[in-house]
Amino acid sequence: MSPSLAKSSEKLKNEIEDYHKGVKYLHESGIQKVPKKYIFPISERPNCYTINENPQVASKHNLKLPVIDFSQLYGPNRAQVLDSLSYACENYGFFQLTNHGIPEEVIKNMVDVGGRFFDLPLVEREKYMTKDMTTPVRYGTSFNQTKDGVFCWRDFLKLVCDPLPQVLPHWPSSPSYFREMAVTYSKETKILFIKLVEAILESLGINVATKNKTQQNDEEIMLKEFEDGSQLMAVNFYPPCPNPDLTLGMPPHSDYGFLTLLLQDEVEGLQVKSNDDWVTIQPIPNAFVVNVGDHLEIFSNGKYKSVLHRVLVNSLKSRISVASLHSLPFNSIIKPSPKLISETNPSLYKDTNFAAFLEYLKSCDSTNKSFLETRRLT
């Protein structure tokens, strides 16, 4: 090999190694432009504006999601709240949840400790890097490092939350209070999820109230399955990007699972596909953005929609979000509820499970992530 080819080969090898160290590492190294590996095709780039660069244009693209006051669910307005919940899930696939009962301190602590984890030296964060998608803790970058043709501008820490006694010893022990804060947050979001599921089932006309005190009905058994169900937390970090118009923090995707409870900081970034346009979700302090996952769309036989969403980045500020994804246990079969199937409303989806999703995820490029489409019956 000629010296020039050897030099080019070594440079390429070093660049690949840098990509796999994550965008936090690239930002800290002082790069002045986005590497080619992160540049999306023109048709997939953010359209017509970038965050914080033209507020007048950006404001036209903001979407005010339905806002649901969770405290009203347990008062005389329960019927109206259930109607609002149904409307949001059916027409938006997203809503913002306020007065949800999780203390502000718990929320602030989770955002703070998540940020402090990403402030650790790379040598500390690298301890949790792995290609094994089933491990209890995984640190990485982009979406799927082994398959992504184009990398996205995101680093993440994913934590499997159940069964907690088994997975907790694998979670990061640094910062020193990380486990304490993350455990509290995961428990609080799980409790909130169960309450939300009960309300969503009721909004679909599936009541979990016991008719026979000595015998559980099918819906109560299902609710118990959710209580024992899966929970995955993803702490996402998006550092400032020198060319935010060329890349994405996350490509368009829908969420695997039943419901996702997303905690955002004050920096805009989340966009939802609405009427073939991408619109930005304005953060509400201490509120959760809740979205319908693929499992709920399947369970509701298409009544509630799992909607494509993506994340933009900006050149001025870093952004942190914490996504808590909830569903039935990993070994459960997800299928349309028999209560919602009839001769005039036949099943629209194949049965599915977590194993099928993992196989799909391993085989696809994240810029073309549409697992739900593979579950539809033609």
What is the pLDDT, as a whole number, of residue 9? 41
Question: Contacts by 85-88 with C-beta closer than 8 Å and gap 24+?
Answer: 85/199, 85/200, 85/203, 86/203, 86/204
Beta strands in 4-89 (DSSP E): 62-63, 67-69
Angle among Cα 227, 230, 232 to the nearest 5 degrees reads 125
Q: Is the pLDDT of residue 12 over 70?
A: no
Which residues span the domain enclosing 263? Answer: 3-375
- Which structure tokens are listed for 161? 């939350």
Confidence grade of residue 59 (pLDDT, cut at 50, 70, 90): very low
Around Cβ 147, how many Cβ atoms within 10 Å? 14
Total domains present in the chain: 1
Q: Where are the alpha helices (DSSP H) in 22-177?
A: 23-28, 55-59, 78-91, 104-118, 122-125, 164-167
Q: Is the pLDDT of residue 39 over 60?
A: yes
What does pTM read for this prediction? 0.89
Residue 377's Cβ-count burial label (10 Å; 0-12, 13-18, 19+) is: exposed
Between 371 and 198, the more confident residue is 198
Q: Domain with 110 in it: what CATH number?
A: 2.60.120.330
Question: Contacts by 328-336 with C-beta closer than 8 Å and gap 24+?
Answer: 328/225, 328/226, 328/229, 328/230, 328/258, 328/295, 329/225, 329/228, 329/229, 329/230, 330/230, 330/354, 332/225, 332/229, 334/295, 334/298, 334/299, 335/298, 335/299, 336/298, 336/299, 336/300, 336/301
Tens digits of residue pLDDT in 149-179: 899 999 999 999 999 999 999 999 999 999 9
Confidence grade of residue 377 (pLDDT, cut at 50, 70, 90): confident
What is the pLDDT, as a whole number, of residue 64? 83
Q: Which residue reads 């085989």 in tokens?
A: 363
DSSP state of 344: S
Q: Which residue reads 């599936």 in tokens?
A: 206
Residue 262: closest CA among 242, 299, 233:
233
CB 197 within 8 A of CB 175: no
What is the pLDDT, as a whole number, of residue 14? 47
CB 372 within 8 A of CB 254: yes
CA atoms within 13 A on the CB side of 74: 8
Residue 118: closest CA among 186, 18, 17, 24:
24
What is the pLDDT, as a whole number, of residue 57? 40
Tens digits of residue pLDDT in 64-94: 899 999 999 999 999 999 999 999 999 999 9
